[in-house]
Structure 1
Amino acid sequence: MRSIILDTDIGSDVDDAMALAQLMGSPELELVEVHTVYGDTRLRAQLARRYAALAGRDVDVVPGVVEPISGREVWWAGHEGTLHADLDAETISADSAPERLVARLRARPGGLDVAAIGPLTNLAAAFALEPQAAGWIRHLWVMGGGFGAAEDAEHNFRSDDVAAQAVLNAGVPTTITGLEITRQVTIEAARLERIRAAGPLGAALGADIEQWWAFWNETWNVPHDPVALLALSRPELFTFSETGRVTIAIGGEAAGHSTFTPDPTGSVRIVTGVDGEQVAEEITSRIVTAGTAYPARHEGIDDDRA
């Protein structure tokens, strides 16, 4: 059993909600709490809390930093949370995620993994508050960047290039899954139907997946964030580099562009290969487990999702 804090920008790309559901369907992982980042972090926190309730889980959710340290404008799709009624009824923490992260890590140094699947702003803010906090993380799992020959800057790193550079050079043992890996995995109609049938959680998630497909006029999506989290749970489905260092371009048109350099003194490794079909199946199965293993305890939120 590994204990994990999820740091997420849930609500725009549906893959964050898929990742949260996947974690809740992973019996080898203890989800300690969820932190939200980037933009309307209160709304994101309410949405995360709603998804936990749909799975019958009582999970603490803590809103975090709204504005990127980089000063870059927040990208907002406009559909965040629109399929979920009465989100204001969801109880979320009055704390701030960076302070809470420091407190959690101080209480359990070396005992917590962190999965960061949004911009790294909360972590950078936490390290600025308490520089020792970086040394208290057991392992950091990141969805971000792109390390293929022709990859453009990826959204999470581009959105807060300053935070990404600070966090990835803080000496934390880190595994990064980049776009050249996540794009080898897709969720299509057959797997969507299996997710949709997985209780109130699956019905709600299925609706959000369809909304995301409609936003891009597609009939499939790449589960970027679930792929990155599965590298923790099922490492045998991936291959990894040796350790090295990651450099992030700061500012300008190349902002957020990531470069990996092998270095035995470094603390970062990247995912270099993936069994795409098996990973897609494992993601789907874990989401289905989350939706069917527990009865929904939140009344009034599963009425018309089926």
Structure 2
Amino acid sequence: MRSIILDTDIGSDVDDAMALAQILGSPDLSLAEVHTVYGDTLLRARLARRYGVLAGRDLDVVPGVVEPLSGRKIWWAGHEGTLHDGLESETISADTAPERLVDRLREHPGELDVAAIGPLTNLAAALVLEPEAAGWIRHLWVMGGSFGNEKCEHNFKSDDVAAQAVLNAGIPTTVTGLEITQQVTIESARLERIRAAGPLGAALGADIEQWWAFWNETWNVPHDPVAVLALSCPELFRFSEAGRVTIAVGGERAGHSTFTPDPAGSVRIVTGVDAEQVAEEITARIVAAGTAYAGVRGEIDGDRA
């Protein structure tokens, strides 16, 4: 059992919500907290909290930094949270994510993994507060970048300053880039399995369909679930040797990522994936999260009857 903090920009691309549900359905992971980042982090926190409720979990959710260190304009799809009524009633921590992250790492040095599936602003801010925190993270799992090509991935581009700072802080890190995640897709058959998985599955299925409609597609790439699954199922992935990742800061190539092998480096990247098995494992874990609570609720309702 690995204890993990999820740092997420949940609410825009549906893959963040999928990753959260996947973690909740992973018997090998214990979700310590959820931290939100980028844009309306309070709304994102309430949405993450709501997904916990749908899974029968009392999640500790902490809103984080709103503005990226890069100063870049925030991309906002406009549909964030619109399918979830009454989000303002969800109870959210009064703390802020960078401070909470430092506190938790100080309390449990070397015991917590961090999965960062949005811009790395919270982590960069935490390292400013306490530089020693870099040595307290057991392992950092990042969805970001695109290696061996000219693409500038959204998370790194949104806060290139934070990405450069975090990836050069000496934290043991695994980065999963677009060239890997884009090999995996979720299509209609798997959507139907997700939708049937209790209240959590129904809500997530609706959010997936909303994202598909936003792009006029009938499938999506589960970028963030792929990156998180590299922790749980490393046998489905191939990894580079140790090295360093550099991020282009500013200009037209802001956020462009380059990996350089270096035995003294602290970062590795994912270099290969069993795409079909990864898609199946992601789906199965999401379904497990939804059906487990649906089964419990069914037993309770049956007892009451």
Same fold per TM (> 0.5)?
A: yes
Structure 2 CA distance for partners of 1:153 and 1:206, relative to 1, 3 Å: same
C-alpha contact (below 8 Å) 1:173/1:268 kept by paired residues = yes
Match of 1:97 in 2: 97
Using the alignment, how far apart are the partners of 1:272 and 1:152 within structure 2? 16
Q: Which runs of 4+ in 1 moved over 2 A?
A: 295-298
Task: Name the SS of the counterpart of 2:138 in structure 1.
Answer: strand
Partner of 1:228: 227
**Residues of 1 paired with 2:275 and 2:234: CA distance?**
13
Aligned 1:1-306 pairs, distance under 5 A = 1-148=1-148, 150-295=149-294
Secondary structure of 2:226's aligned partner:
helix
TM-score w.r.t. the length of structure 2 is: 0.96
Structure 2 unaligned regions, length at least 5: 298-305
Take 2:212 and 2:151, find their aligned partners in 1: how far apart are those partners? 22
Query: Post-superposition shift, 1:8?
Result: 0.1
Q: Does the CA contact (< 8 Å) of 2:245 and 2:257 recur in 1?
A: yes
Structure 1 length-normalised TM: 0.96
Q: 2:188, 2:294 → 1: CA distance?
A: 25
Which secondary structure state, in structure 2, belongs to the residue aligned with residue 287 of structure 1?
helix
For residues 100-138 of structure 1, what are the alpha-carbon distances to aligned partners after superposition, in whole Å with 9 as ceiling and x for unaligned? 000000000000000000000000000000000010000
Alpha-carbon distance in structure 2 between the residues aligned to 1:288 and 1:256: 34
Give the drift of 1:97. 0.1
Give the AA of the match of 1:140: L
SS in 2 for 1:180: helix
Cα contact 2:244–2:267 (8 A) shared by 1: yes
Q: Residue 222 of structure 1 aligns to which amino acid in structure 2?
A: V
**Contact 1:53/1:296, CA 8 A, preserved across alignment:** no
In the alignment, residue 290 of structure 2 is paired with which amino acid? G
Unaligned runs of 5+ in 1: 299-306
The answer to whether the Cα contact below 8 Å between 1:36 and 1:62 also exists between their aligned partners in 2 is yes
Contact 2:181–2:222 (CA under 8 A) maintained in structure 1: yes
Partner of 2:302: none
Give the direction of change, closer, same or farther, for the CA distance of 1:287–1:90 in structure 2 (3 Å limit). Answer: same
Letter in 2 for 1:116: A
2:301 paired residue number: none
Separation in 2, partners of 1:51, 1:59: 9
> What count of residue pairs does the alignment treat as equivalent?
297
Task: Give how far 1:294 is off.
Answer: 1.5
Note if contact 2:197-2:294 (Cα within 8 Å) is conserved in structure 1: no
Q: Is contact 2:4-2:112 (8 Å) kept?
A: yes
Q: Looking at secondary structure, tell me which structure has more helix per residue.
A: 2
Q: Secondary structure at the match of 1:293?
A: helix
Could you tell me whether the CA contact under 8 Å between 2:70 and 2:159 is conserved in 1? Answer: yes
Shift, 1:295, TM fit: 4.0
Q: Distance in 1 between matches of 2:263 and 2:248?
A: 22
| CA distance in structure 2 between the partners assigned to 1:200 and 1:295 by the alignment | 7
Percent identical: 84
Aligned equivalents of 1:114, 1:38: Cα separation in 2: 17
Distance 2:296 2:288 in 1: 16
- In structure 2, distance between residues paired with 1:250 and 1:152: 14
* Cα deviation, residue 227, structure 1: 0.1
Structure 1 distance, partners of 2:150, 2:173, is 21
